[in-house]
């Protein structure tokens, strides 16, 4: 099989190139190539440009021509920088109770909440958990999401967190999507741990971190900084140990109460995720930092709460990514494009801002610079939509799906026929 391939002609290519990491964006800033092609070699893009010119070059190089018929729009493969797709069981009962007016505490007291998922996840074997993660990743991949961050956090013991992270890494070997594992052992103090919050965090950091490094299971540590989980003061020593051990950091921040985003800034985290409860103070602090703000509209839809103040973050000059938060409790939808489209409607985001939020800005939240833009040297991860107009994607609010998905130079989905 030839490693050199030319895909085209493509009616429009949104390269997402030459756009800044931070701040508001207008659609007029988008680089749109018409009657274009993508020349790839293996897993990397060699060139993006005029199709006829690339066709002549491809012929001299002996490249395989993959000729498209009809209108197509190309965008970079989507990056979902916050998911919990490694889990067991269902929380449909929680969802029904929440819609009937029950509070978070009432649901938890009746046996629901995060602890319910912990119980159901612990029951699964490593192989069962791996298979469930593969299934979820492949569903995301079929919707154009080529890079997926996946958190642990439903094990909540050294042994069970290791099982989850091993499952995520095994799943990564069996799906075409790139899975980026993150350790969220600091999701909440487990109910079967008899000590304090600080004692639990000490145990995790002292026993788990070394194994994570030794087995190369993850280089990312997350924590839920919230009144129902861990306070800013409790999490500081934990994050300091993680940082001293060389881990990258991310934070579940300001979901119900502010405080977590300041911790993210203090420790130089890659991202602060949620932010539904961020006030003007937190918005300004984030905008003046290098921390990526990550909006999770799926959680707002699942919980019926306010959206992340995305418009204010962008207008203040902040960097905004958008992720699905796909999880069995608060965000079961797991459809990144639909959620991003809905967020755009309520927060008045431009198409450029939304697409940036699920491509190169989301990649930056994961510390990845090799994807999210269609340009020479980037990974050849891209999606083809059946349209000649980029504005159609958000207009259909997620119901228009890609007809082709390419990952590292291989076509892994083709719905044209």
pLDDT at 111: 84
Domain span(s) for CATH 3.20.20.140 in the chain: 79-365
- CA–CA distance, 299 with 305 (Å, rounded to integer): 8
Pairing mode, strands 410-414 and 404-407: antiparallel
List, for residues 241-281, the tens digit of each pLDDT value. Answer: 999 999 999 999 999 999 999 999 999 999 999 999 999 99
Confidence band, pLDDT 50/70/90 cuts, at residue 112? confident
Question: Quick check: 334 pLDDT over 60?
Answer: yes
Confidence band, pLDDT 50/70/90 cuts, at residue 340? very high
pLDDT at 1: 52
Bridge-partner residues for 224, per DSSP? 252
List, for residues 27-68, the tens digit of each pLDDT value. Answer: 999 999 999 999 999 899 999 999 999 999 999 999 999 999
pLDDT at 414: 93
Please, what CATH class does the domain formed by 79-365 belong to? alpha beta
Cα maximum dimension of the chain: 70
pLDDT averaged over the chain?
Answer: 96
pLDDT at 365: 98
Q: Average pLDDT for residues 317-330, to the nearest whole number?
A: 97
- CA–CA distance, 293 with 289 (Å, rounded to integer): 10
Pick from 324, 265, 266: nearest CA to 294: 324
pLDDT at 325: 98
Region of 111 on the Ramachandran plot (φ > 0 left; ψ -120 to 50 alpha; else beta): left
Confirm if 223 and 151 have CB atoms less than 8 A apart.
Answer: no
Domain span(s) for CATH 2.30.40.10 in the chain: 4-76+373-414
**Tokens 């291989």 -> residue:** 410
pLDDT at 109: 82
Question: Quick check: 282 pLDDT over 90?
Answer: yes
Peptide bond into 9 cis (omega under 30): yes
- CA–CA distance, 120 with 115 (Å, rounded to integer): 9
List, for residues 362-373, the tens digit of each pLDDT value. Answer: 999 999 999 999
Question: Quick check: 192 pLDDT over 90?
Answer: yes
Helix (H) or strand (E) holding 275: none
Helix (H) or strand (E) holding 294: strand 292-295
List, for residues 211-236, the tens digit of each pLDDT value. Answer: 999 999 999 999 999 998 999 999 99
- CA–CA distance, 268 with 282 (Å, rounded to integer): 15
Pick from 40, 164, 295: nearest CA to 172: 164
pLDDT at 110: 84
And the tokens for 34? 């018409």
CATH topology of domain 4-76+373-414: Urease, subunit C; domain 1 (2.30.40)
How many residues in total does the chain contain? 417
Pick from 37, 40, 46: nearest CA to 68: 37
């Amino acid at each position: 099989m030839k490693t050199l391939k030319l895909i085209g002609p493509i009616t429009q290519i949104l390269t997402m190139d030459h756009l800044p990491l931070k701040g508001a964006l207008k659609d007029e800033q988008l680089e749109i190539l018409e009657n274009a092609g993508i020349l790839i070699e293996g897993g990397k893009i060699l060139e993006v440009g005029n199709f006829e010119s690339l066709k002549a070059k491809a012929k001299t190089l002996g490249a395989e021509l993959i000729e498209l018929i009809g209108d197509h729009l190309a965008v970079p493969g989507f990056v979902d920088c916050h998911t919990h797709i490694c889990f067991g069981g269902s929380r449909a009962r929680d969802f029904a109770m929440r819609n009937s007016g029950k509070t978070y505490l009432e649901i938890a007291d009746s046996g629901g909440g995060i602890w319910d998922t912990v119980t159901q996840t612990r029951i699964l074997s490593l192989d069962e958990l791996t298979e469930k993660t593969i299934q979820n990743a492949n569903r995301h991949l079929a919707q154009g999401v080529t890079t997926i961050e996946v958190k642990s956090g439903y094990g909540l013991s050294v042994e069970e967190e290791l099982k989850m992270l091993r499952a995520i890494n095994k799943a990564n070997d069996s799906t075409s999507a790139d899975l980026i594992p993150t350790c969220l052992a600091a999701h909440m103090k487990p109910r079967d741990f008899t000590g304090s919050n600080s004692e639990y965090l000490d145990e995790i950091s002292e026993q788990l971190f070394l194994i994570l490094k030794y087995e190369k299971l993850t280089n990312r540590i997350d924590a839920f900084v919230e009144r129902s989980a861990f306070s800013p003061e409790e999490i500081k020593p934990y994050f300091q140990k993680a940082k001293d051990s060389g881990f990258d950091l991310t934070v579940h921040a300001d979901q119900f109460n502010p405080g977590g985003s300041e911790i993210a800034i203090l420790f130089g985290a890659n991202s602060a995720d949620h932010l539904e409860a961020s006030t003007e103070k937190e918005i300004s602090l984030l905008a003046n930092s290098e921390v990526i703000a990550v909006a999770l509209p799926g959680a707002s839809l699942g919980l019926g709460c306010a959206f992340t103040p995305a418009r204010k973050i962008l207008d203040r000059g902040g960097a905004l990514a958008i992720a699905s938060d796909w999880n069995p409790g608060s965000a079961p939808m797991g459809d990144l494009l639909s959620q991003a489209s809905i967020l755009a409607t309520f927060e008045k985001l431009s198409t450029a801002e939304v697409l940036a939020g699920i491509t190169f800005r989301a990649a930056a939240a994961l510390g990845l610079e090799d994807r999210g833009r269609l340009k020479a040297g980037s990974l050849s991860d891209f999606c083809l939509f059946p349209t000649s107009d980029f504005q159609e994607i958000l207009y259909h609010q997620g119901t228009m799906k890609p007809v082709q998905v390419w990952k590292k130079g291989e076509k892994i989905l083709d719905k044209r026929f």
